[in-house]
Amino acid sequence: MVWVPVMVNLDGKQAVVIGGGKVAARRFRLFQEAGACVTVVSPHLNDELQVLAQQHAFIWKQKTFEPEDIREADVVVAATNDPETNSRIVAHAPAQALVNDAGHVGSGNLAFPAFFQKGRLSISVSTAGASPKLASRIVNELSRHYDTNYAQYVDFLYECRQLLKQPQFSASEKSEWLEKLLGEAYRKPEKQQEALSFFRSRMQGTAR
């Protein structure tokens, strides 16, 4: 099986997590941050999920899994402590749904890599199930290198790209500038302001 890394917009999607332990809690937090509508199916919840359920952070179906629980789901996570139940969840998932078996990465069609996000910058690492701990270690190392200052630099690049899309800049100019802005000099705030001022004045017809 070959896994293809993608980024998915889950805003407003129906996410169903079956299970009430640590893995289920992690997946809930991820889906909540993504703006999904989350349902948790489990007879019992751990302390963290209990508190969140009391806050109505998600819909809690206090029961064991039944196929009807995921009939309308866009994304499904099988996170129980019973491999047979997880396999049954995957088997009954809607054909169009993204499905993750937390205990067996090759069972579904969705895997969760280790990742970190700072502003617009997202970096994820996967070992395709070989060693999640190694993936987490690599992510921790990368997160120390690509710190908050780097996230600010990415925001700067985004702003520049939006300005360079304007008709005042030719395709060749846009390409040249986007390459130039990757230079070390543009990590400095003063150079960033200089570039932004130039682009804005160019759009106003005042740049020389």
152 in the same domain as 198: yes
* CA–CA gap between residue 167 and residue 41 (Å, rounded): 52
Indicate the helix (H) or strand (E) that contains 192. helix 189-203
74 in the same domain as 20: yes
**Given this model, what pLDDT does residue 142 score?**
95
* Owning domain of residue 177: 148-203
106 in the same domain as 18: yes
**Given this model, what pLDDT does residue 14 score?**
99
User: Is the Cβ–Cβ distance between 143 and 133 less than 8 Å?
Assistant: no
* CA–CA gap between residue 180 and residue 76 (Å, rounded): 43
* CA–CA gap between residue 149 and residue 143 (Å, rounded): 11
* CA–CA gap between residue 19 and residue 178 (Å, rounded): 46
Measure the CA dihedral 130/134/138/141, to 10°: 180
> How crowded is residue 70: how many other Cβ atoms within 10 Å of its Cβ?
25
Write down the pTM of the prediction.
0.85
Residue 207 has pLDDT above 70, yes or no: no
Buried b (16+ CB within 10 A) or exposed e, 170-180: eeeebeebeee
Mean pLDDT of all residues in 93-103 = 96
Asked if residue 60 is part of any domain, the answer here is yes
Residue 71 has pLDDT above 90, yes or no: yes
CA-based R_g, the chain, Å: 22
Instruction: Work out the angle between the directed axes of helices 22-34 and 47-54 (0-180°, nearest 10).
Output: 40
105 in the same domain as 34: yes
**Given this model, what pLDDT does residue 190 score?**
96
Mean pLDDT over each residue of the chain, to the nearest integer:
95
29 in the same domain as 82: yes
Asked if residue 140 is part of any domain, the answer here is no
49 in the same domain as 102: yes
- pLDDT tens-digit series, residues 12-36: 999 999 999 999 999 999 999 999 9
157 in the same domain as 84: no
Mean pLDDT of all residues in 175-179 = 97
Mean pLDDT of all residues in 117-135 = 92
* CA–CA gap between residue 50 and residue 197 (Å, rounded): 51
Give the position of tokens 């290198």.
145
Mean pLDDT of all residues in 148-174 = 95
Mean pLDDT of all residues in 191-197 = 97
Asked if residue 87 is part of any domain, the answer here is yes
Residue 81 has pLDDT above 90, yes or no: yes
Mean pLDDT of all residues in 106-120 = 92
**Given this model, what pLDDT does residue 2 score?**
82
Mean pLDDT of all residues in 199-204 = 91
CATH number at residue 52: 3.40.50.720
101 in the same domain as 162: no
Q: Return all residues near 157 (Cβ < 8 A) that are at least 6 apart.
A: 181, 182
163 in the same domain as 75: no
